[in-house]
């Protein structure tokens, strides 16, 4: 019997140590103009029996480890003998479970792009089964599109909460209806607010994603303002920053080539982040910058207590003269620093190299510098 289980392509960075359990494949919408994750793939809701079989397979690998443990230590010799009987995909799955347990085995992320498309009654059944098989799990989270979440009642979402779903991650990208329309997000800010309020009323944590720069030059102020309006209406637990990176394979890149979309500079995208933080009125909202695409990596904090600190951190970078700004961009984009105060720790030889690269572009308007930075960023998405 095949003991492997499928794994989808994406998860939030905050779920890096979570076990990935696929309950759907692909995305219900799959038409956002900036997204190429599921390009060419259909959407598929897995049957609860199929998902439970995959949970059984995960438990099988857990039990295999238990069988080969003596006095809290793994008997490597006997374990390796059994591992030799596994196929390649089974072995990969075994190591996923093994590494997850080694990291504590505390969290699970349900994949893929819109897992709440599985009817709440069915998803609750799967969650209950998962929690029974792995009673040590402390947190289960998933992605859900606002338009799908808005379809379910608060009572249906409560079923998910009671069955053990703790947090929903949802990609709002923007709270501006003009931007949502331009990127073909397939939902409105009204649906975002409806979905967000329902998730909160059901007692689950809500993590919403904002894409600074996704509205381009035309909507830069509106992108921050309208996102703040939506955040203030919902009061989510987390606002996660995902600075927009224009992928060359996306429809939005064609829009840029046709002159219908003008990309912001790195500095302008940071300005949007600063504006959003300054306009959030909900004290308990946590701003989280947990991706290398954000120009400041440690721009994290609770609005009520850390807003000023976050604004100062952003202003420090926003006010840099261009030469210093470029050096910071490179140091950040190549992973040497999280924020400007760490620049002194970048090795001198590296800084010299960065200076050579930055100066080689010249400092005129058509220097090509921003495109160079965007090429660096594209490696990360």
Interface residues toward ligand SF4, by CB under 6 A: 27, 29-30, 32, 35, 37-38, 113, 145, 171
Long-range contacts of 55-58 (CB under 8 A, 24+ apart): 55/21, 55/126, 55/129, 55/130, 55/133, 55/134, 56/133, 57/3, 57/4, 57/5, 57/93, 58/5, 58/19, 58/21, 58/93, 58/97, 58/133, 58/134
**Closest CB to ligand SF4 among residues 113, 297:** 113
Give Dmax (Cα) for the chain: 68
Q: Which is nearer to ligand SF4, 27 or 317 (CB)?
A: 27
In this structure, the chain runs to a length of 381
Residue number, 152 or 354, with CB nearest to ligand SF4: 152
Question: Residue 29 CB, nearest distance to ligand SF4 (Å)?
Answer: 5
Q: Shortest gap between Cβ of 77 and ligand SF4 (angstroms)?
A: 45
Q: How far is the CB of 70 from ligand SF4 (least distance, A)?
A: 45
Are 161 and 200 within 8 A, CB to CB?
no
CB of 273 to ligand SF4, least distance (A): 20
Closest distance to ligand SF4 from the beta carbon of 35 (Å): 3
38 or 328, CB closer to ligand SF4?
Answer: 38
Cβ closer to ligand SF4: 27 or 137? Answer: 27
Shortest gap between Cβ of 237 and ligand SF4 (angstroms)? 20
Q: For the CB of residue 308, give the shortest distance to ligand SF4 in the complex, in Å.
A: 33
With respect to ligand SF4, which residue has the nearer C-beta, 38 or 210?
A: 38
Closest CB to ligand SF4 among 105 and 144?
144
Nearer to ligand SF4, 54 or 250 (CB): 250
Q: What is the 3-class SS of the chain, one letter each residue?
A: CCCCCCCCCCCCHHHCCCEEEECEECCCCCCCCCCCCCCCCCCEECCHHHHHHHHHHHHHHHHHHHHCEECCEECHHHHHHHHCCCCHHHHHHHHHHHHHHHCCCCEEEEECCCHHHCCHHHHHHHHHHHHHHCCCCCEEEEECCHHHHHHCCHHHHHHHHHHCCCEEEEEEECCCHHHHHHCCCCCCHHHHHHHHHHHHHCCCEEEEEECCCCCCCCCHHHHHHHHHHHHHHHCCCEEEECCCCCCCCCHHHHHHHCCCCCCCCHHHHHHHHHHHHHHCCCCCCEEECCCCCCCCCCCCEEHHHHHHHHHHHHHHHHCCCHHHHHHHHHHHHCCCCCCHHHHHHCCHHHHHHHHHHHHHCCCCCCCCHHHHHHHHHHCCC
Q: Which is nearer to ligand SF4, 30 or 298 (CB)?
A: 30
* Least distance from ligand SF4 to the Cβ atom of residue 101, Å: 29
> Shortest gap between Cβ of 136 and ligand SF4 (angstroms)?
30
Cβ proximity to ligand SF4, 29 vs 134, nearer residue: 29
């Amino acid at each position: 019997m095949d003991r492997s289980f499928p794994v989808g392509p994406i998860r939030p960075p905050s779920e890096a140590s979570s076990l990935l359990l696929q309950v759907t494949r692909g995305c219900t919408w799959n038409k956002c103009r900036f997204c190429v994750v599921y390009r060419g793939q259909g959407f598929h809701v897995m049957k609860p029996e199929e998902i439970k079989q995959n949970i059984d397979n995960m438990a099988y690998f857990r039990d295999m480890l238990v069988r080969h443990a003596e006095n809290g230590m793994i008997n490597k010799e006997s374990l390796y003998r059994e591992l030799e009987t596994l196929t390649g995909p089974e072995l990969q799955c075994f190591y996923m479970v093994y590494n997850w347990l080694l990291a504590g085995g505390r969290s699970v992320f349900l994949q893929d792009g819109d897992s709440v498309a599985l009817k709440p009654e069915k998803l609750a059944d799967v969650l209950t089964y998962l929690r029974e098989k792995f009673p040590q799990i402390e947190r289960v989270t998933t992605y859900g599109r606002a338009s799908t979440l808005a379809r379910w009642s608060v009572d249906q979402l409560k079923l998910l909460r009671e069955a053990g779903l703790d947090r929903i991650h949802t990609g709002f990208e923007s709270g501006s209806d003009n931007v949502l329309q331009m990127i073909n997000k397939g939902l409105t800010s009204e649906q975002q607010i409806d979905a967000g309020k329902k998730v909160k009323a059901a007692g689950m944590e809500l993590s919403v994603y904002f894409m600074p720069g996704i509205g381009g030059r035309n909507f830069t102020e509106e992108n921050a303002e309208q996102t703040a309006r939506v955040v203030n209406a919902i009061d989510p637990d987390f606002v996660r920053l995902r600075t927009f990176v224009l992928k060359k394979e996306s429809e939005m890149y064609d829009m840029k080539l046709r002159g219908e979309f003008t990309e912001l500079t790195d500095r302008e995208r940071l300005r949007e982040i600063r504006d959003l933080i300054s306009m959030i009125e909900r004290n308990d909202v946590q701003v989280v910058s947990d991706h290398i695409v954000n120009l400041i990596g440690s721009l994290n904090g609770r609005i009520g207590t850390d807003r000023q600190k976050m604004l100062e951190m952003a202003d420090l970078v926003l006010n840099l003269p261009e030469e210093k700004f470029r050096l910071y961009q490179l140091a950040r984009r190549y992973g040497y620093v999280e924020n400007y105060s760490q620049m002194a720790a970048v090795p001198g030889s590296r800084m010299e190299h960065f200076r050579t690269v930055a100066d080689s572009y010249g400092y005129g308007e058509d220097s090509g510098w921003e495109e160079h930075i965007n090429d660096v960023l594209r490696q990360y998405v």
